[in-house]
Amino acid sequence: MKQVNDRTEWSNPIARILFDRDRTMITVRSQRELASLINQAKANKATARILTMIDGADAATRSMIESVRTEVNQRLRDALSLLIQTQEICVSEGIPFTVIKSLDAMPDIGHDIDLLVGRKLGLVRSMLLARFQCSPVTLTFCDRQAGKFSTFIRGFESDFELYTRVSQLGEEYYPEDTIINRRMKHSLPQGDTYLCSPEDTLLIACIHTMYRHQKIRLSDLKVAWVALNSDLDLNYVLQVVSSAGIEQGFAAFITILTRMCKSILEGEPLPSKVQSYTSRILSSDSLLSRILRDLQMTFPLKIPLRLAVLLFLYKSATDLIHARFDSSVRSALAPALLVLDKLIPFKLQKAASIRIW
């Protein structure tokens, strides 16, 4: 296999398993090779889903696989228990909420549980702190601007996050009430919860990867793929994309998904309406098209700084046209913050408690 930074590049095998295009067992020859595979699967939020397709060549490696499997199962139980216990605050007070992102890749779970509660965040936070033994997490500058709350709750490995809106630094995309009102009830072994509609799942995946985290994991693409191949309302999705000012970000996200599909899914196409929309956006933007052509398709795929800056500048201009002046200013501020975040080493930011992005 191709070597990247003296380690095996596992993007394609992981993608083929995630998208059910290869059910051939991967035999790892050593604990070192297994660690490389697991690290990349974890970075792509795909560990649980590839574990069933991994076998070890010797007893030590097979023992390591079982250890990882036990750890993954424990994390899943921990996260779901945290969700059920904490959402009871919202349920008991009649506060509408929806889980965002956290359960999109089940049985793979990230490091936190995210609830979108909108304008009720202050009330939910106060009740959470009163009911549980919590250790609030120091937020980045952007998180504070977005009104996010993050905490560790004693007795759980996962942390818990509350969102007032889908945002990075307070810029607007579309109303949180719309997302919450469109939520769907979902049953878990531990109890019921609420998840986003397929349309909102797709939109949030795009917004968080392109405008918040600046990276795309294979799991994010699988989430988008499932949503696009469900019975979703594409007119609603594209209307939100247009009004939110994320046409270029959505086109970039879909282009990356399309390229991955061509290499992994034997060219299986996305819905024609999405392809047409993406082609129209890119045909009128040679700079964006050129940046996307230069992307290296290894995952997680880091969004280049110039692309992230360009997307926020486009959004700022659209926000200004739509008279969302505060959002326009915040979107225009994002490129400077992104550059500062790149220039100031992470260790220095952490030491000075001035985390930026």
Peptide bond just before 107 cis, omega within 30 deg = yes
CB 88 within 8 A of CB 106: no
Residues in contact with 93: Cβ distance below 8 Å, sequence separation at least 6, in sequence order: 123, 127
- One pLDDT digit (tens) per residue for the chain, 357 residues: 444 343 689 999 999 999 998 889 999 999 999 999 999 999 999 999 999 999 999 999 999 999 999 999 999 999 999 999 999 999 999 999 999 999 999 999 999 999 999 999 999 999 999 999 999 898 999 999 999 999 999 999 999 999 999 999 999 999 999 999 999 999 998 899 999 999 999 999 999 999 999 999 999 999 999 999 999 999 999 999 999 999 999 999 999 999 998 888 776 679 999 999 999 999 999 999 999 999 999 999 999 999 999 999 999 999 999 999 999 999 999 999 999 999 999 889 888 778 899
Rounded to 5 degrees, what are φ and ψ at 139?
-90, 155
Q: Which domains does the chain have, with CATH numbers?
A: 3-57 (no CATH), 78-196 (3.30.460.40), 198-357 (no CATH)
CB 190 within 8 A of CB 169: no
Peptide bond just before 300 cis, omega within 30 deg = yes
* One-letter amino acid for residue 238 of the chain: L
For the whole prediction, is pTM greater than 0.85? yes
Rounded to 5 degrees, what are φ and ψ at 117?
-120, 0
Q: Where does residue 196 rank: exposed (0-12), middle (13-18), buried (19+ CB within 10 A)?
A: buried
d(CA 175, CA 117): 12
Tokens, residue 103: 């359960």
